[in-house]
Homo-oligomer: A and B are copies of this chain.
Amino acid sequence: LEESWSFLDTVESNFRPLVVIELAKGTKEETIEWLTKRIVDKKANGGAQLLIKPLVTENGVENIYLVGASHIRLLLGAETVGLVKECSDNSMRTFTYSSRKTFKHFADDNHNFLTMAECQYIIKHELENLRAKDEKMIPGYPQAKLYPGKSIVRRLLTSGILVQIFPLHDREELKKLSHSWYGRVKVGYQPLDDIRCYFGETIALYFGFLEYFTFALVPMAVIGIPYYVFAWEDYDKYVMFATFNLLWSTVILEVWKRICAILTYRWGTLLMKRQFEEPRPGFHGVLGINPVTGREEPVYSSIKRQLRIYLVSLPFVCLCLYFSLYVMMIYFDLEQWALDYHRENESNLSSLMLYVPSIIYAVVIEIMNRIYRYAAEFLTSWENHRLESSYQNHLILKVLVFNFLNCFASLFYIAFVLFDMKLLRQSLATLLITSQILNQFAESLLPYWLQKRYNRRMKKRMCSKKTDMDLSLSEQVNMEKEMGTYLGTFDDYLELFLQFGYVSLFSCVYPLAAVFAVLNNITEIYSDALKMCRVYKRPFAEPTANIGVWQLAFETMSVISVVTNCILIGMSPQVDALFPDSKMDLVLTVALIEHLLLAIKFIMAFVIPDKPRDIQMKLAKLEFESLEALKQQVKAFQMQLHFVLIHH
């Protein structure tokens, strides 16, 4: 009976496919057998105790497997990954199987207590934590070495036996979600909680940030419009606008932390304990003893990594930066040439020509950013970081530095070397608008169109006229497995970061930037939503409590923007006219104001609490309760002990 417990479930009608495993064509039979055995095997035997079923299509059995789990297995898994759910008394608590009755909406027959995304996350976690016992290699593949504790799925992935693992879409839910999300044009909030239920916290938090950021830009845009329309260029109005922008950008970043805390508290991720970080899949090295865990695993000397970083990566990044500056100088030559051309033969066409160099440069910048992105990924992965977090930090640092210079160097050069405010305004506008158009196109519309064309061809081949809803499971799986993979929120945040740079760095020169940013972000919400729902495979949910290093990146940008804006205001002819006698006084005044603004910024960041008061109270309450519980345990134990001591 015990042996067949898991198998029994697989043939039951309640098997709900959650995750798809695609093995390479021609994978050996013994490997498949071994893998399935390990997946269904009991926890006590080191298995994952999940359910697995081959996908049967008209063409017979392909190497595609569907993974699911019994209801109780998922609940136990929820405890293992440390999910936090809402209790009947509206407080958030870490879910445990033994206390399951105290949770809101829990009933033994309610299979919707865990969202589908949570179930898929649990299955991914269980599969990834399926570890080699005494196997020395993957059966059938002597070159795919294993050692005790190595994640089997990761080894299968790196040796190419496992093509991909992805969670299945839920066509019905997806239709509901996409209707309420982007199906109709409406003014209002996105259904963040539904997005979180379907795609998980990381993606929901990105859309939450995008929406918040758009709303936060509206005041800047509203104030910016009259400046542009009426061409207000008085000193005091300018200073007021820039000062408002600077303080506003500090406030919005601080307030975001609070909103983020509210969202992630509601979603339970604010309270989730950090899991111990395992080595990232690509990490390799010679077998040794990990000093922290005491386990045998690959180790790679930190000195070698440092050498790779400082002797290869750093020079390469510097070279790229130099190249970017070189391209910038070519752009200025082009600009000069266009200006000369316009001066010689003045016409409508030639005045349009003035914009051509900027547009070309904007396109080149985008191309360079994308190429550099691949190079940075390759280099960072070659640096062989042990942890995913360390890999991500090095990648983000590399990409941010290059993107910042690549996008803004020409603007800094125009502003602070050429002192040409007219060119700055024109260049800023062209760069901003071109990059926005390019991004929207490359990120969402192009893949959507490609995907649509592919789907049409697929359907034609299947000779069916069914809608998406009527597709059989095997058709759905075959369609989804060909979809592109969503590579995470990195590029989306990067785009927002650069946009924030365009808006804030030179806000006092081009007040209309915020207007374009708002317009772009509104379409961005729609195109990103389309991308998530229609273009890409469903991604695995990833719990997260904040936007991580991006908060720091945005804050740094807002500090830099204080400096640039103060200098720009100081350079404006209106301010110049206020200090007719002494340029010295002008510079000193500007420096004083800059320092004051920076001081106010830091004090504001310090004074505004990162979490709203009611969230603080709820967290304090939870901490108090867990300490109380611990105290009770200790007390009970001590009393027992005293009792024993007295009676002996």
Contact = CB atoms under 8 A, between A and B. Distances in A.
Interface of A: 1-2, 5, 42-44, 72, 76, 79-80, 97-98, 275-276, 291-293, 563, 583-584, 587-588, 591, 595, 617, 620-621, 623-624, 627, 631, 634-635, 637-639, 641-642, 645-646
Given A42-B642, A291-B621, 5 more contacts: A43-B639, A76-B641, A79-B634, A97-B638, A97-B641
A292 B638 contact: no
A291 B621 CA distance: 8
B638 A98 contact: no
Contact of A2 (B2, B44, B72, B646): B646
A627 B584 contact: no
11 contacts: A43-B642, A76-B641, A79-B638, A80-B634, A97-B638, A98-B637, A276-B623, A291-B621, A293-B621, A583-B584, A591-B591
Contacts of A5: 646
A44 to B, nearest CB: 6
Contacts of A42: 642
Given A292-B617, A292-B620, A587-B587, A76 B563 contact: no
A563 B80 CA distance: 52
Contacts of A635: 43
B43 A638 contact: yes
A617 B591 CA distance: 45
Nearest to A2: B646
A385 to B, nearest CB: 16
In the complex, the 4 A-B pairs of residues with the closest C-beta atoms, listed nearest first:
A292-B620, A587-B587, A292-B621, A276-B627
Contacts of A583: 583-584
A40 to B, nearest CB: 14
A70 to B, nearest CB: 10
A443 to B, nearest CB: 31
Nearest to A98: B637
Of A5, A637, A639, A642, most buried by chain B (CB within 10 Å of CB) is A642
B292 A76 contact: no
A99 to B, nearest CB: 12
Nearest to A583: B584
A296 to B, nearest CB: 15
Contacts of A98: 637
A18 B142 CA distance: 68
Nearest to A563: B595
Contacts of A617: 291-292
A595 to B, nearest CB: 7
Contacts of A80: 631, 634, 638
Contacts of A620: 292
Nearest to A79: B634
A645 B72 contact: yes
A646 B3 CA distance: 10
A76 B624 contact: no
Contacts of A44: 639, 642
A575 to B, nearest CB: 15
Contacts of A43: 635, 638-639, 642
Contacts of A631: 80
A293 B623 CA distance: 10
Contacts of A634: 79-80
Given A2-B646, A5-B646, A72-B645, A292 B624 contact: yes
Contacts of A563: 595
A76 B638 contact: yes
A42 B638 CA distance: 11
A635 B5 CA distance: 18
A595 B623 CA distance: 42
A642 B98 CA distance: 13
B588 A624 contact: no
A646 B2 CA distance: 7
A488 B595 CA distance: 35
A583 B588 CA distance: 11
Contacts of A645: 72
A130 to B, nearest CB: 14
Nearest to A591: B591
A617 B293 CA distance: 10
Contacts of A276: 623-624, 627
Nearest to A277: B620
A49 to B, nearest CB: 8
A78 to B, nearest CB: 11
A591 B620 CA distance: 45
Contacts of A97: 637-638, 641
A353 B289 CA distance: 73
A1 B591 contact: no
A44 B42 CA distance: 44
Contacts of A621: 291-293
Contact of A1 (B72, B623, B646): B646
A2 B646 CA distance: 7
Contacts of A293: 621, 624
A276 B622 CA distance: 11
Contacts of A1: 646
A621 B623 CA distance: 24
